[in-house]
Amino acid sequence: MFDVTEVRVTGLSRESQCTLRFGSGALFAIFMALLAMAAILDYGSAPMAHTHLTYLVTGGAGFIGSNLVHYLFAQRPGSRVVVFDKLTYAGNLDNLEAVASRPEYELVKGDLCDRELVRATLRRVKPDVIFNLAAESHVDRSIDGPSLFMQTNVMGTFEVLDAALSQSRELSNTSKPRFVHVSTDEVFGSLGPTGYFTEESQYRPNSPYSASKAGADHIARAYFHTYGLPVITTNCSNNYGPYQFPEKLIPLVTLNAVEGKPLPVYGDGKNIRDWLWVEDHCAALLLAAERGTPGETYNVGGNSERTNLEVVHTICRVLDELRPKANPHESQITFVKDRPGHDRRYAIDASKITRELGFRPSMTFEAGMRKTVEWYLSHREWCDRITQGTYRRERLGLAG
Ligand SMILES: NC(=O)c1ccc[n+]([C@@H]2O[C@H](COP(=O)([O-])OP(=O)(O)OC[C@H]3O[C@@H](n4cnc5c(N)ncnc54)[C@H](O)[C@@H]3O)[C@@H](O)[C@H]2O)c1
């Protein structure tokens, strides 16, 4: 007969917390040794506890980053969120106005490529999780000026990874940060009419933007395999929702439509993208941080393939209802010269993140589009402040 004792084991790593039932002292000693070995060899693979953590969000003033900041405060009350952002044309502090006065929020204005500042910030903030979103993100701009994309997306990501590694070397296993590197499905190139991108798909980037993201993904991968930094990479499809800079398709078309301006559709409008409600992307990122396995990559998608023309027609239909006028909004559609090297189709197989982490998009495309159009209509001041700056919704990206 074994005398059974119950022991709560904590502190092997920040993430590990379990209740043991063991028989003899010898069995217990063996078990403890195995757990200690597992903690050394397999640091960071257990799901992390998620109360009162410190999150560092690079690019937190941008579209997805600011949605993530709001999501973290809503879903993980008591957490501290530090935004590290250069505040480029795409970074907008208006996006963070609602949290700006919270004591648990902090903004560090800085460039990912500023090695000393990135390192000093990580040393001071001691994040439990780093979400790396800061990037130059607009394909058209990457065609006109690829250099900045290489600097920010490749070298900037390298600097944050390297800073996280040097910080983690100074820390015990119990306080090393998890690193969620946020990437795109565009690294996989273009699909034909059938098939899906899986985590095993070959990297075939076609634009300077996607090539720079692919470079960053490879560096992130190497930092796990070479140094054991607990990096998790996500490759997501096109996002839509509040706070998106109005150079991107959905806000651009919405704002042009209500102002009676042309609705530009590239080429024949038949390029297909998979669309995901931005808050669902944020949910996937938090799942990846808390339950993802270091060294793994996860594709994230919305199961909502639409041609660009279908997206524009959807916006027009919503506006015909919300802002009716004499001619239907689709009469403003104008076909314009295609983007050089425009990928034809992206489609995501998100079955791995669904199966392993329990991710499921909560929003249908139709409901999400309606909410999005309503948001831009009811946030005209937000839109006007951006367009009164240097950006005037002009056509970019014809340099190729
Ligand atoms: N938008 C999408 O549909 C989508 C889809 C998949 C993946 N992603 C990825 O998600 C991330 C966020 O995308 P987004 O659409 O929110 O981009 P965004 O352009 O709206 O925001 C980027 C943010 O990064 C900041 N930034 C740029 N350069 C910087 C630098 N050198 N140092 C510090 N901060 C800097 C900007 O100021 C801005 O706040 C990107 O990495 C992008 O590749 C986007």
Ligand 1 centre to CA of 85 (Å) is 10
**Ligand 1 neighbourhood includes 87 CB (under 6 angstroms):** yes
Ligand 1 centre to CA of 134 (Å) is 5
**Ligand 1 neighbourhood includes 215 CB (under 6 angstroms):** no
DSSP sequence for 28-62: HHHHHHHHHHHHHHTTT-SPPP-SS-EEEEETTTS
Average pLDDT of each block of 10 consecutive residues along the chain (400 residues)? 32 34 51 47 57 94 98 97 96 96 98 98 97 96 97 98 95 82 97 96 97 98 97 98 93 96 95 97 98 98 96 98 96 93 94 98 98 97 83 62
CB 179 within 8 A of CB 220: yes
CATH 3.40.50.720 fits 54-241+277-303+347-361, yes or no: yes
pLDDT reported for residue 39: 43
Residue matched to tokens 């600011």: 66
**Ligand 1 neighbourhood includes 236 CB (under 6 angstroms):** yes
pLDDT reported for residue 17: 35
Q: What is the CA radius of gyration of the chain?
A: 23
Instruction: Please state, as a whole number, how many other Cβ atoms lie within 10 Å of the Cβ of residue 216.
Output: 27
Nearest-CA residue for atom 12 of ligand 1: 133
Closest by CA position to 269, among listed 366, 339, 186, 195: 339
Q: Which residues are catalytic?
A: 185-186, 209
Which residues make beta-bridge pairs with 8? 19
Helix axes of 115-125 and 157-170: crossing angle, nearest 10 degrees: 40
CB 396 within 8 A of CB 248: no
Q: Three-state secondary structure along 316-334?
A: HHHHHHHCCCCCCHHHHEE
pLDDT reported for residue 13: 35
**Ligand 1 neighbourhood includes 300 CB (under 6 angstroms):** no
Structure tokens at 205: 């980037």
pLDDT reported for residue 247: 85
Ligand 1 centre to CA of 2 (Å) is 57
**Ligand 1 neighbourhood includes 137 CB (under 6 angstroms):** yes
DSSP annotation of 177: P
pLDDT reported for residue 184: 98
Q: Which residues contact 394 (CB under 8 A, 6 or more apart)?
A: none
DSSP sequence for 336-375: EPPPTT---B--B--HHHHHHH-----S-HHHHHHHHHHH
Mutate to test the pocket of ligand 1, among 68, 88, 186 (most ligand atoms within 8 A of CB): 88
What is the SS3 assignment for 78? coil
Element (H, E) at 8: strand 5-10
DSSP sequence for 83-129: EEE---TT--GGGGGGGTT-TTEEEEE--TT-HHHHHHHHHHH--SE
Give the atom of ligand 1 at the shortest distance from the alpha carbon of 234: 7
CB 248 within 8 A of CB 376: no
pLDDT reported for residue 47: 65
**261 alpha carbon, distance to own chain's centre:** 31
**Ligand 1 neighbourhood includes 276 CB (under 6 angstroms):** no
Q: What is the pTM of this model?
A: 0.88
Mutate to test the pocket of ligand 1, among 63, 240, 298 (most ligand atoms within 8 A of CB): 63
Mutate to test the pocket of ligand 1, among 133, 237, 247, 299 (most ligand atoms within 8 A of CB): 133
Structure tokens at 21: 């039932």
Longest dimension (CA), the chain: 86
Domain with CATH 3.40.50.720 in the chain: 54-241+277-303+347-361
